[in-house]
A and B are shown apart, each in its own frame.
Chain A
């Protein structure tokens, strides 16, 4: 191989700005999508456990739709098809928004991940002994309170490892949003590459960024797991 590395060009204008913007977009998009996915996922996962067949159907329908269509297709649908389905004035308002690609990516990534979180939460809830529900109901807590104070916190602790891995996946999945024009870190790498023909350097930055964010997530989730660990149970420090 006869290739002269030039790492320092990454620190030059405008590439350093592209990298910064790309990183910021990746992190922002992933964190926001994660927050929304967790909220919706907990809701949908809980709904699937309810007695009401209507609620259960809504939950199952959601999960099956969002889990089984590839993320890339979902992003295209949100980007190209969804605006066309809006009434005219809403569509105009939507198109005039700042950062439509980012918003679209946020919706697509959140709803897709929420379906996967919902499944994790559901299996977490299933593993909670029936006696815990009976205990909560017997003290007069209603279904909502029982889920809020007992079932979800309990299920969440059981599900932390699975939920961490969804959290890692969301960072990696966010790369797909470059296809609808989000200037995230992978997109930044492609711009730099086409501007400088320095693919190795450009994609190295992108790869390192993912490795770095993933490592941060692992450290954070390990800390969280320890923080939430129930004293007296197995594995207690």
Chain B
């Protein structure tokens, strides 16, 4: 087996006095698509943000691609190898779609504007919105915005993609266009950590499912066995709730 891409060791996170993550230990391997699910407030977003150190750890460490995030001298350099996609897209409203995508490649990787534009257009083509390149985010539909945001994350050629409920803010008819892009990424071997309530995606695309509750990891299974045969009571309850909506 290959070396883990992400190793989370004894990780704890506090917001003030509130313990959002409690001693998390887990590893993720390259080329895998892992879905993280769990009830609201269970710490899924917090865990994702820790993987690129958008939060200060209370305790423990995250090792990304062999580098400790806790003691990292150049965290920006490490972050540029990890793409992140947000529930509310978080495109920069004052920049065109194209400039949203090329900003980091030009500023962080030192690409020329010409090369960055060329790569960005290829990505936009891949996600099917190359005709929107010169528009501003607020002029796009939600689904188009999220596909633009995915392109922005991909533009740095990351080794890992983090998705935090990428379809939760979308109208139903736009969810599938974003899921299709994600499925395409997974099929092409991208390493992905995906927080989502889309159980269809978890079943069909994910290799594994991690179930969280109250700041802890309750179980980790192959996606098949998670749905057919969940180990914990809480996961069973959760699956019934989201799948059968009872």
Q: Which residues of A contact B (CB under 8 A)?
A: 129, 131-132, 134-142, 145, 149-150, 153-154, 157, 228, 230-233
Contacts and interface: CB of A to CB of B under 8 A. Distances in A.
Contacts of B152: 135, 139
Interface in B87-143: 88, 90-94, 103-104, 107-108, 135-140
Nearest to A157: B94
A101 B104 CA distance: 46
Nearest to B86: A131
Specify which of B82, B90, B139, B156 lies most central, judged by the most chain A CB atoms within 10 Å of its CB: B90
B94 A141 contact: no
A140 B104 CA distance: 7
B14 interface: no
Nearest to A153: B94
Given A134-B49, A135-B90, A141 B76 contact: yes
Contacts of B80: 139-140
Specify which of A135, A138, A150, A154 lies most central, judged by the most chain B CB atoms within 10 Å of its CB: A138
Interface string B16-55: 0000000000000000000000000000000001001010
B240 interface: no
A45 B140 CA distance: 32
A231 B138 contact: yes
Interface residues of B, number: 34
A231 B104 CA distance: 22
Contacts of B79: 137-140
Contacts of B52: 137-138
A232 B103 contact: no
Task: Please name the 5 residue pairs, one residue from A and one from B, whose CB atoms are nearest each other, closest first.
Answer: A140-B80, A232-B138, A139-B104, A232-B139, A135-B90
16 contacts: A131-B90, A135-B92, A137-B76, A138-B54, A138-B83, A138-B162, A139-B80, A139-B83, A139-B103, A140-B156, A141-B76, A142-B76, A154-B92, A154-B93, A232-B136, A233-B93
B186 interface: no
B153 interface: yes
A135 B84 contact: yes
